[in-house]
Structure 1
Amino acid sequence: MQVSVLASGSRGNAVYVEMDGVRLLLDAGISATRIKKGLAAEGVDASTLDGVLITHEHRDHIAGLVTLSKWYELPIFTRRATIEHMSCRSAIPAERFHAIEGAFRIGDLTIAPFNIPHDAADPVGYRITGSSRCTLATDLGFVTASVQEAIDGADVLVLEANHDP
């Protein structure tokens, strides 16, 4: 498993996770150029990504999504309400979006979204399970029972906790 935080904080969020041959980008809150360069620094060509998982619709999580989508035609996974509230939704072909509810699979990985407390349409964190388990949760002000359940047993945990209304 490889986990690389490309950016974290109010200026942008993007995390690369590779596990069991599956390459994922979690959030695209920095420019597509910065994402491409950040991945290249990790030895990863952005065109080999298997998908982008979006936690919620705030700009610091989607700023590079339109350009990234144009360059690489990547599938984008997120909750339906998040898609509907994205400011950039109309600039991305509808067929790239994959609305998720419960757990789903990409390759040999199971990706389970879980609710997080944040002021967005339907914000989530992700628990990614394959030969290892990686859990990501952003914009946390506190840990709810569902967040605690998702992070329990994680081999790698990525927490970003700079937001609390």
Structure 2
Amino acid sequence: MGIRFTILSSGSTGNATLVEYGEWRVLLDAGLSAKRIEQLMQERGVTPEGISGILVTHEHSDHVKGLGAIARKYRLPVYANMNTWNELDRAVGDLDDDQRRAFKTGDVLTFGELSVESFPISHDAAEPVAYNFQAGNVKLSIATDIGYMSPVVKEKVKDADVLVLESNHDVDMLRVGKYPWNVKRRILSDVGHLSNEAAGEALCELVTERTKRVYLAHLSRDHNLLDLAKLTVNNILCESGVSTEERPIRLMDTYYDRSTEWDMVDEP
């Protein structure tokens, strides 16, 4: 048995990912309307009643838009660190006390035999985190909304069997794009988003013999191209002598990947 996961949505239009191990199933972020999340889950043969909890990375609307509605409707526990909870109160509305589950960044949550570790990332939010999911010898790392790849992030996601990593924008496309300069500056900053080039450079250190697959996620609709992201990352890896033939890089975003399939992180 391995960890199964399916990315319901990734990008500025909304983020949500399902992770499953055995009878346990968790939702990572709820950045779409509750109705849309329900629809996408149904396409994958899942009902919200079967969710064990919702994990929150940070309070931005593209990660929590439907959080309050779906948590109230199905009485789901919501997990976030206290600084994020302080910001969430305005966004999610009333939740019962037993639904509010606060943790300290770095804590390991357990859902049966599935362990979930939070770790800090650099983004312009109260206390943003990414997560490692581990069961037995299998490790899935999901890290997006990263201004830069800090030593902590590199240490936490290294040796993941499967890595979902942000590859948000092409720097040149962003510089000449339509966004006002203050927004461009924010995206390019250390608390913004990871570029294709930065993702490729990070993967040169992160891809090991253990790495089975890498997914490039949270691609910008306006300042990236699907093939460009993959080409940029592949070129950087090849120039560094890192083979990707046995570790295919896939692109994940709402306007690209409409698959209803789950992916399996198999036991080694």
Letter paired with 1:148: K
Which residue of 114, 122, 129 maps to 2:127?
Answer: 122
- Residue 71 (structure 1) aligns with: 73
Structure 2 regions of 5+ residues with no counterpart?
A: 169-186, 190-268
**Aligned-pair identity (%):** 37
Cα contact 2:16–2:28 (8 A) shared by 1: yes
TM-score by length of structure 1 reads 0.93
Q: 1:34 to 1:89 in 2, by over 3 A?
A: closer
Which residue of 88, 109, 115 maps to 1:110?
Answer: 115
Residue deviations 1:11-51, cap 9 Å, x none? 11101111233101000000111111111111111110001
Cα contact 1:103–1:112 (8 A) shared by 2: yes
Cα contact 2:67–2:92 (8 A) shared by 1: no
In the alignment, the residues of structure 1 paired with residue 131 and residue 20 of structure 2 have an alpha-carbon distance, to the nearest angstrom, of: 14
- Residue 45 (structure 1) aligns with: 47
Q: 1:107 to 1:70 in 2, by over 3 A?
A: same
Cα contact 1:8–1:160 (8 A) shared by 2: no
> How much is the aligned-residue C-alpha RMSD, in angstroms?
1.4
Report the alpha carbon displacement of residue 161 of structure 1 after superposing the two structures with TM. 3.9
Q: Give the structure with the higher percent strand.
A: 1
Report the alpha carbon displacement of residue 89 of structure 1 after superposing the two structures with TM. 4.4
Report the alpha carbon displacement of residue 121 of structure 1 after superposing the two structures with TM. 0.6
Residue deviations 1:53-85, cap 9 Å, x none? 000011111000111012111111111100011
In the alignment, the residues of structure 1 paired with residue 55 and residue 167 of structure 2 have an alpha-carbon distance, to the nearest angstrom, of: 19
- Residue 148 (structure 2) aligns with: 142
Residue deviations 1:61-118, cap 9 Å, x none? 1000111012111111111100011122442223211111111212111111000000
Q: Give the structure with the higher percent helix.
A: 2
Report the alpha carbon displacement of residue 142 of structure 1 after superposing the two structures with TM. 2.1
Which residue of 17, 20, 23 maps to 1:21?
Answer: 23
Structure 1 regions of 5+ residues with no counterpart?
A: none
Structure 1 segments, 4+ long, off by >4 Å, are: none
Q: Secondary structure at the match of 2:146?
A: coil
Aligned length: 165
Larger Rg: 2
